[in-house]
Structure formats: C-alpha cells, structure tokens
Amino acid sequence: MNFFQFLLSKTFIKQIVIAVILIALIVLSTLVWLKYSTNHQEYIKVPNLSKLELSIAEKKLQSLNLRYEVIDSTSYNPDFPKKSVTDQMPKSGSSVKENRKIYISLNPSGYPEVEIPKNIIGKSLRQAKPSLLSVGLQVGEIKVVPNIADVVLHLLHEKDTIKPGQRIKKTSTLNLVVGDGKLKYGQKIPPSDSLPNADSTLHLETNPNLNN
C-alpha cells in the first residue's frame, strides 16, 4: 500500500475523525474554562436603591443580573416617599457576585393607627400626657375649664371629640380639656363653650371620688 492509498484508507479517515473530535472537545473545554475563570473573580457593585419606587429598583437590579426580595416594611418614615426603598442588604457599594439576592425594605403608605388609652378620661394631666405620648400621639393645646377635679375631661382632634378606645393615626395631635379642680362640690358650673359633651362633664363634676 503506497502513501496515497493509505490516505484514502478507512483506517486513516477514522483516525482523522477521532482527531477532529478530540481537538473540538479540547477547544470547547478551554473556552468553558476561560469563561469560568474570567467570571469567577468578577463582582458587581450593589447600586443605591434608597428612595426609589419598587418598579424602578427592580429594573435597576435586573439590568445588573441581581435578584431582590422585599422583606417586612419598616415603620413609616416621613423623610422617604411612600412605598419607596428605605433600606437594603447588602448595602449600596458592596461587591457581590452575579445573581445575588438583594433584600429591601419599603416605606409604608402612612402612619399606622393607634388606640386612644381607654382609661385616659379622669386621669390627671401629669398622668395623661405620658400615656398619650407612649402610644405615639402628640399633646397640643391644654384648655383649662372650671371643674371640681383637676383631671382630663375631653380629648379633641381637629375640633372633634375623640373617645377612649377609638383609633387614630399615630403622631396625631390631641387637644385636652382639663378641669381646674377649683369648683366646690355642688357648686353651679359656669357656662362654657369649651365643653363639647356636657353630660360627661357633669358626671365628673358630681363625682366626689375624682378629687385629688
């Protein structure tokens, strides 16, 4: 068999096919290794999502091949837009790998409602103020009116009477109508337009147990 006959033989052709397959596998393996080794040390810088709406933050993360998950919303913060990102983990500027999940917190749409303390009426001003402040309410104007006891008689919010047990938005300001404790038992009450509910006021005025 001469050289040209060998080149056309099945044995040679088979060796050529095997060699081509081996070379292709080596090239493919090299490309995969290069891609892995190149991306292995590649990090993505976490963007700043603060004050962004969720839809905008989502697009920003997706463009960087990062995922996200919304965790429980934090307490309402008036310095942030409603439903915007208030916190994130990892923090902005951190280096993370591709497909890393970013945990974000959203600002609620407003302050939650709190309950007016049920035993607030009949308390002294010194006792009532801490009770209201402790649930996140603000104490505004203090209106002192004639009464046998120096206790809280009424709670007012924007000129409306608020009763104990009612719910109202946190940080709301309540004005207090407070007795001066100077009336004697049985003494006639001077007329006043500061008492929105005369019946309950009379009840306090005629109750000798409310004297301090």
The pLDDT tens digits of the residues spanning 57-76 come to: 999 999 999 999 998 776 88
pLDDT 10s digits, 158-184 = 888 989 999 999 989 999 999 988 887
In words, the CATH class of domain 113-210 is alpha beta
The per-residue pLDDT for 151 is 93
pLDDT at 12 over 70: no
**Environment class of 199 (CB within 10 Å of its CB; exposed 0-12, middle 13-18, buried 19+):** exposed
In this prediction, residue 198 carries a pLDDT of 38
pLDDT value at residue 197: 45
The torsion angle over the Cα atoms of residues 143, 146, 148 and 151, rounded to 10 degrees, is: 0
pLDDT at 7: 58
Using a pLDDT cut of 90, give the percent of the chain over it.
48
In whole angstroms, give the CA distance from residue 32 to residue 130: 68
CATH topology of domain 44-106: Trypsin Inhibitor V; Chain A (3.30.10)
Q: What global pTM score does this model have?
A: 0.52
Say what the pLDDT of residue 202 is.
Answer: 38
CA atoms within 13 A on the CB side of 8: 4
- Note the pLDDT of residue 76: 86
Same fold, 44-106 and 113-210: yes
Q: Region 136-142: what's the mean pLDDT?
A: 93
pLDDT in tens, 69-123: 998 776 888 899 988 999 999 999 999 988 999 999 999 888 888 999 999 999 9
CA dihedral of residues 68, 74, 79, 85 (deg, nearest 10): 10
Beta-ladder partners of 70: 104
Yes or no: say if 96 and 43 are a contact pair by the CB < 8 Å rule. yes
Query: What is the structure's pLDDT at 39?
Result: 57
pLDDT given for residue 210 in this prediction: 41
Torsion, CA 96, CA 97, CA 101, CA 105, rounded to 10? 20
Cα separation, 135 vs 114, in Å, equals 7
* DSSP codes of every residue in 90-110: SPTT-EE-TT-EEEEEE--SS
Q: What is the pLDDT of residue 187?
A: 65
* Domain positions in the chain: 44-106, 113-210
